[in-house]
Structure 1
């Protein structure tokens, strides 16, 4: 099926809205987070909580779509705060592995808790059932885009 001009306009509008939502929500989330936490740092903690420990810095960088250098900096900040531990890979001395600490899990939970007041306000305008209905489409779009990246 080919997309005509009106379809292309709608498709561009869809991704444009997602981009704007990402910017606005990311900024609001970062403002609400505990002092010294950044969205990038929270994203790493959240990733490790969701998917488990043992990831290499390179693999986390790839998942976050950032350079290895940027991820190294983020991990150094997190390690300095005692939120993650970066240690040598026991099976490959050249590689490193990242593990989240109990303090890191608590910080991730604190960050989520910090945004709770905004979420309570949000749910007054947009009931959770409406948002839940959009999740399958958004998850499918994410999976499709994820499958196409380098």
Structure 2
């Protein structure tokens, strides 16, 4: 889609533009999260799936505090999510080898399998997209969204 901007926007116009951008991203996140939540196996919540996915993508062995910071949630919220995943057998919580006051979080083989089962459960939802949202368009906008995510992550 061609840009509607013909000249640099004023500060107020730029603020309106970015507000609209983040509003759309927020609505998309809510709608997609609700769709995904409906098909999650094992009673997984999106928060629990996101944590399993995070550990597969970036490695495990993180502390609860570091995970809370990465997900931008309170330590209490992260502790609750971790307790539920541990009760399901999807993670194990080990003492930190260098700091007895701290813990480290590790995925279990069941946790990795649960993440894979969740991805498999998402396939029918994702298979509906190409008819209305062509893969070429997704491939075109993905680098821009990644650039925005990286900037936001770096500038927390």
Separation of aligned partners in 1, 2:19 and 2:10: 12
Q: Give the alignment's Cα RMSD to 1 decimal.
A: 1.4
1:13 corresponds to which residue? 20
Could you tell me whether the CA contact under 8 Å between 2:91 and 2:108 is conserved in 1?
yes
Matched, 1:127 2:138: no
Q: Structure 1, unaligned stretches of length 5 or more?
A: none
Matched, 1:136 2:133: no
SS of match in other structure, 2:44: coil
Deviation at 1:6, TM superposition (A): 3.3
SS of match in other structure, 2:101: strand
SS of match in other structure, 1:82: coil
SS of match in other structure, 1:70: helix
Matched, 1:72 2:79: yes
Count of aligned residue pairs for this structure pair: 149
Deviation at 1:128, TM superposition (A): 1.6
Q: Given the two structures, how large is their TM-score scaled by the length of structure 2?
A: 0.90
Q: 1:130 to 1:84 in 2, by over 3 A?
A: same
1:54-133 counterparts in 2 under 5 A?
A: 54-133=61-140
Of the structure 1 ranges 120-129 and 38-47, higher mean CA displacement relative to structure 2 is found in 120-129
SS of match in other structure, 1:92: coil
Structure with larger Rg: 2
Q: Given the two structures, how large is their TM-score scaled by the length of structure 1?
A: 0.94
SS of match in other structure, 2:73: coil
Could you tell me whether the CA contact under 8 Å between 2:41 and 2:121 is conserved in 1?
yes
Separation of aligned partners in 1, 2:83 and 2:11: 48
Separation of aligned partners in 2, 1:58 and 1:29: 26
1:23-34 counterparts in 2 under 5 A?
A: 23-34=30-41
Q: 1:60-107 deviations in whole A, cap 9, x for unaligned? A: 111011001100010000001000001101111111000001110111
Deviation at 1:130, TM superposition (A): 1.0
Separation of aligned partners in 2, 1:31 and 1:17: 21
